[in-house]
Structure 1
Amino acid sequence: MQRRHLIHTAVAALSLLALPSWAQPAAPDLSPEQAGRPRSDKVDEAIRLLNPQFKFAKEGALVVGTTTGRLPFGAYATDNKTPVGNAPDIAQLVADSLGRRLELVSVAWADWPLGLQSGKFDVVISNVTVTEERKEKFDFSTYRNDTLGFYVAKNSKVQAIKEPKDVAGLKVIVGASTNQEQVLLRWNEQNIKAGLKPVEVQYYDDDVVLYLALASGRADTYFAPNGIAAYNARDGKTRLVGLFSGGWPQSAEIAVTSRKGSGIADAITAALNAQIGNGNYAKALERWSLQSEAIPASRTNPPGLPKK
C-alpha cells in the first residue's frame, strides 16, 4: 500500500524560516517592454499560405488568446496588464511572420475554446496539447514537445530515471489530480506487481515548501511538467534526471490552436518553421529555459493523444 502524504503550508510554516536562498530563482525580465524578446521579419511563404477568406478579429493585428497563470508559459509583467512568457514570445514571432501587429488577450483556461470559436481572438497560444478530441473542433500548428520531467536536488544520489522501475522505493513529489500523477500511479502499480518497492507519493500545496523538501532530502525527486520545473532549475540548484512524454506512453505536442478549417493553420506552421530555421525559435525557448522541449519542425494537425 503506497504512502500518501499531503503537506500543507500551515503545517510547514516554521520550515520557511530555514528556506535556502536557492529556493528563490533569479528574477526573469518581467518588464512590459520585453527588450530581449526575439523579433522577426515577414515570412512571405507563410503569408502566401494564409487563406484570403480568413477573417481576422482586428484589422492589421493577430489577436492571440493566452493564459497568464504561471511562468515560464505566461504571467503578467510588472505593469500588471501585459502578458509575458514563452507563449507571448511565440505569439510575437507568429505575428511578425504574418506581417501583423500582436495583440494579446488574457483568457482563463476554461474559456479559451469558446473565445476562439466565437472569433474573439484569431488563435490561442497557451500550452494547449494536441488531442484527437480537440482536433474535431480545432486545427493545430505544433511548437513544443509536451514533456514531464523528474528533477532532483543538485547533490542527489539519483542520477537517472529512464523507466518505471527506476522510481521504485523513491519518495516522489507530484501534483494531485494531474496527468503526471496518473502516470506515476500507473508505474507504481506496475512495480508492485513486479515485486518492487512502492513509491512514497508526496503532495505539497506550496512550491516553496516543495523545494525545501527536495533540498532537505525529505523527498527524492519532483515529477512535474518539464517547462515549469526546468524554469525553476535555471539557478543550477536542481537538475533533470528523466524526461517523459506528457501523454506517456503516447507522445504529445503543444500547439498554436486555431478554428477548424479557418485557413490559418498552414500559414502558422510555415511561420513557425521559418523561425525554427532562422534561430529565433531557439532563442524564444532559451529565454524561459524550455530548450529541452524544442521540436525539429512544426506540423499541422499531427496525431494527438487518443480519446479517453
Structure 2
Amino acid sequence: MMSFASWRPALLLSAIMLAASGTAHAGDEFDLSPEQPARVHAVKNEAAIASIPKSFAFVTPGKFTVAISPGGPPLATYATDAKTVVGADPEYANAIAESLGLELEIVPVAWIDWPLGLVSGKYDAVISNVGVTEERKQKFDFSTYRKGLHGFFVKGDSAIASIKEPRDAAGLRIIVGAGTNQERILLKWSDEDVAAGLKPIELQYFDDEAASLLALQSGRADVIVQPHAQLVFIAARDKNIKRVGTLSAGWPDRSDVAITTRKGSGIADTLTIATNGLIKDGTYAKILDHWHLSEEALPASETNPPGLPKF
C-alpha cells in the first residue's frame, strides 16, 4: 500500500506539470485557478439542517470535513498553485457544506486511504467519485450525486457517429484498461455481437494515456473507453477527440457515484436531502454544467440504492 507521504509529492509534481502544459490548452473551458471566481454557491437548506441527527458529531464543529482524492481534472486536482484542491467534486462538496450552513474543510487523500480514514473518524464524508457497490454498502452509507459513466470517444474526424448498444461497437478496435469494469462490460458486448452473427469487438491495451491517444490518432484504434469525466477534459485540452456515447458503469443497469459516510452514522439521509435541494433549485445543474459533466446528472439523489454486485 502506497502511503500518503510517498504519494503526495508525485501528485504535486503531476499537478505542476499539468498547470504548465496540458491544462493551459483547456483554460478556456476549465478554470483550475485556486481562486475559482466562477464557483457556484448554494443557499442554506433549512430542511436538511433540521434533519442532522443530534447524535452525529462533525469532526470539527461548524465545518463539513470532506476527503477528496485529487486524481485529475475535471473531478478533482491540485490547482495551478499546486496546493488548492479544485474541480467538480470540491465545488459540489462546497455546495453541500453551504446547504448545511457549514464551512467546507477539504482533506486531500490518496484513493486507497479514504476507507480507513473515514472509518477512523478523520473526516465526515468522502466526496471523490466513489461508486456504490453492494460490497461497500456493508461498511459505508451512500448518498448519490452523479451517474457513474464511461465515455466512448473517437478521433475528431471519425465517421463513427454513435455508440449506444453492442451492435454499434461490433468489429471496432476499442482501447480499454486491462482489468477494468469497462473491459468486463465490453467483453460481454462482444459475446452478444458474436451470438448475433456480428463481428467481435477487438480490445486493445496500452501502458499509458499518451500511448492510447497516439494509437487513436494514428488510426491503430477506432475508439477509446475511459471514465467519462477524464475524457471530457482530454477532449477540451487536445481538441482532437469527440464523444460518441456513454456507458453506465453498471451496464445493463445504472451505477451511481455517491457521498460516502460511516455506516450507521445517520448523516446519509441529511446529505441526500441536501443534494435533492440542490437539484430542485438548479444549483446542482449549474455545477455539473460548469465542469462539462451535465451527462452525469441524476434526476434525484437516493440513500443506499442498489449497487454494483460483487463479480
**Are residue 301 (structure 1) and residue 266 (structure 2) matched?**
no
The letter for the 1-side match of 2:204 is Q
| In structure 2, C-alpha distance between the alignment counterparts of 1:116 and 1:303, rounded to whole Å | 21
Identify the residue that residue 275 of structure 1 maps to in structure 2: 278
When the two chains are superposed, the root-mean-square deviation of aligned CA atoms in Å is 2.0
| In structure 1, C-alpha distance between the alignment counterparts of 2:32 and 2:211, rounded to whole Å | 24
Identify the residue that residue 70 of structure 2 maps to in structure 1: 68
Identify the residue that residue 26 of structure 2 maps to in structure 1: 26
Q: Normalising by the residue count of structure 2, what TM-score does the alignment of the two structures yield?
A: 0.87
Deviations 1:230-284 (A, max 9, x none): 2222365322222221011222000001111112111111111111122221121
Identify the residue that residue 118 of structure 1 maps to in structure 2: 120
**Are residue 240 (structure 1) and residue 243 (structure 2) matched?**
yes
| In structure 2, C-alpha distance between the alignment counterparts of 1:30 and 1:223, rounded to whole Å | 25
| In structure 1, C-alpha distance between the alignment counterparts of 2:126 and 2:182, rounded to whole Å | 24
Q: What is the deviation of 1:307?
A: 2.7
Identify the residue that residue 288 of structure 1 maps to in structure 2: 291
Bigger mean CA offset, 235-244 vs 90-99: 235-244
**Are residue 49 (structure 1) and residue 54 (structure 2) matched?**
no
Q: Normalising by the residue count of structure 1, what TM-score does the alignment of the two structures yield?
A: 0.88
Higher relative contact order (Cα pairs below 8 Å, separated by 6+ residues): 1
The letter for the 2-side match of 1:266 is D
2:85 to 57, 80, 83: 83
**Are residue 262 (structure 1) and residue 255 (structure 2) matched?**
no
**2:144 counterpart SS class:** strand
Q: Which runs of 4+ in 1 moved over 4 A?
A: 21-25
Q: What is the deviation of 1:112?
A: 0.7
Q: Structure 1: which 5+ runs fail to align? A: 1-20
**1:115 counterpart SS class:** helix
**1:283 counterpart SS class:** helix
Deviations 1:173-232 (A, max 9, x none): 111221111111222233334443232222223323322332332221111111211222
The letter for the 1-side match of 2:26 is A
Identify the residue that residue 109 of structure 1 maps to in structure 2: 111
Identify the residue that residue 9 of structure 1 maps to in structure 2: none
Report if aligned partners of 1:22, 1:237 keep a CA contact under 8 Å in 2. Answer: no
| In structure 2, C-alpha distance between the alignment counterparts of 1:104 and 1:189, rounded to whole Å | 44
**1:267 counterpart SS class:** helix
2:223 to 221, 240, 245: 221
**Matched-pair identity in %:** 52
Deviations 1:143-165 (A, max 9, x none): 00011221112221111212212
The letter for the 1-side match of 2:189 is W
Report if aligned partners of 1:129, 1:253 keep a CA contact under 8 Å in 2. Answer: yes
Bigger mean CA offset, 82-91 vs 157-166: 157-166
Aligned length: 288
